[in-house]
Structure 1
Amino acid sequence: MTATTAAPLFDENGNFDPAPGTEYPFSISDIARATARLLGDGWTAESGCWGVSGTLSGPCSTDFAFVVDYEDDLIIEYRYSTDDDFPEDPELPKAAIKCDSGVYLERASASDGLDALAERSAAAIRAITGR
């Protein structure tokens, strides 16, 4: 049996060049899907183009879009609707910060792992929706 060798992380010019799919083991849309699973029945997620966004839909009229903004923050965008009767001033979990387009997860990064990011996202959405 022969040992397999891993692809080099750097090219012949010394530039970082990991194999496709190895630098980031999951996409933004994967976070939306994992969050939907945690929120349970009635929640679904759809991938945006190339997986760089995801939209979470549930038992309310408002959808939640997972995106990364120009400052590299993971944002959960939503528009308040009077149809949903969300709490007016929700008590967000620690490190979920209100912003103009919704909330962002302070210092969130891929190195946190998919499960941790989904748990943080689900906690924020529960606070926003009051559910």
Structure 2
Amino acid sequence: MTTITPDPVLTAAAVARLASVWKSVATAEEVGPVISCVEADTLAAVFLAVGDKDSAKAWISEHSANDPGCEGHDEGHDEEPLMSTTTVVHALTCTACGSNGVQPAVREWANCTNCNHGMSLSEAMTCGCDGYDCVPRPAAPYAPEPGEEYTYPLSDYARATARALGAGWDTESSYLGAWGLIFTTDVRVSLRLYVDGEGSTGDPMIQDRHTGDEYLVPAERLPEGAPRTKDEMHEWGKALALFVLSLGL
């Protein structure tokens, strides 16, 4: 694909020419009511780019006052633009290359400045606005299938820990594997592995069942992310076993 680098001098001249041709108040009165909100804001941005605030306000005014589908535009102050071109760019995403460099064209069409792909404006939309006042769409509810978010119950973590500790250690599972016991076969050490349901982060905890003492397992001593394979669970078991041994019980 051939990449075309815009000439800044020619671009500035073209913008100035466009503003000069479209600055007519009569044209604004005739065309303003029938163009889309995105088109009105884009024209306003062209006028602002050449310092013509009056024409920008005139186009927005004619469009807003006469388009029954328009919900209004922020006309701003003399020191501020009528629109934010940044929100336009970031409200749209190319359906071909995924770039945010998408600009509205005519009517309900948009073009990608990165790969030159054309698409309808609705296809490119990644927010809940019309491309000029970006409001993110509510995220779809997170509803993973059973076993998709967490592959193993907590009792499996306890079992992996006992295996890593070696001979003389055993485990028992609670109902549904909600927590697990880790203990020596002579019951000299008896620990409960569970998750702190009252804490702010839901950290793994180990409780000495003889004394009632509780120990938070630091996140930095654990593998990153919940295990999804036997090998990953083995690494978790080794990390938890090292923490148990560090307690000196």
Partner Cα separation in structure 2 for residue 27 and residue 80 of structure 1: 24
Structure number with the higher helix fraction is 2
Structure number with the higher strand fraction is 1
1:1-131 matches, cutoff 5 A: 14-58=140-184, 59-69=186-196, 70-71=198-199, 72-79=202-209, 101-107=213-219, 108=222, 111-113=225-227, 114-129=233-248
Q: TM-score, normalised by structure 2?
A: 0.36
Contact 2:223 2:235 survives alignment (8 Å): no
Q: Which residue of 2 aligns with 1:90?
A: none
1:115: how far off? Answer: 2.8
Q: What secondary structure is seen at the aligned counterpart in 2 of 1:31?
A: helix
1:80: how far off? Answer: 5.5
Q: Which residue of 2 aligns with 1:9?
A: none
Q: What secondary structure is seen at the aligned counterpart in 2 of 1:29?
A: helix
1:36: how far off? Answer: 0.6
Partner Cα separation in structure 2 for residue 76 and residue 118 of structure 1: 13
**5+ residue gaps, structure 2:** 1-138, 228-232
Larger-gyration structure (1/2):
2
Structure 1 runs (4+) greater than 6 angstroms displaced:
none
Structure 1 residues 109 and 46, CA gap change in structure 2 (3 angstroms): same
Q: TM-score, normalised by structure 1?
A: 0.65
Of all paired residues, the percent bearing the same amino acid is: 27
Q: What secondary structure is seen at the aligned counterpart in 2 of 1:25?
A: coil
Q: What secondary structure is seen at the aligned counterpart in 2 of 1:21?
A: coil
Contact 2:194 2:205 survives alignment (8 Å): yes
Contact 1:55 1:63 survives alignment (8 Å): yes
* CA displacement, residues 31-81 of structure 1 (integer Å, 9 cap, x when unaligned): 100011111111111111221100011144231100111211100110466
Residue-pair matches, total: 100
Partner Cα separation in structure 2 for residue 37 and residue 61 of structure 1: 17
Q: What secondary structure is seen at the aligned counterpart in 2 of 1:75?
A: strand
Which protein, 1 or 2, shows the higher relative CO under an 8 Å CA cutoff with sep ≥ 6? 1
1:26: how far off? Answer: 1.1
1:15: how far off? Answer: 1.3
RMSD: 2.5
* CA displacement, residues 3-28 of structure 1 (integer Å, 9 cap, x when unaligned): xxxxxxxxxx9311111111101121
1:109: how far off? Answer: 7.5
Which stretch shows the higher mean deviation, 121-130 or 59-68?
121-130
1:122: how far off? Answer: 0.5
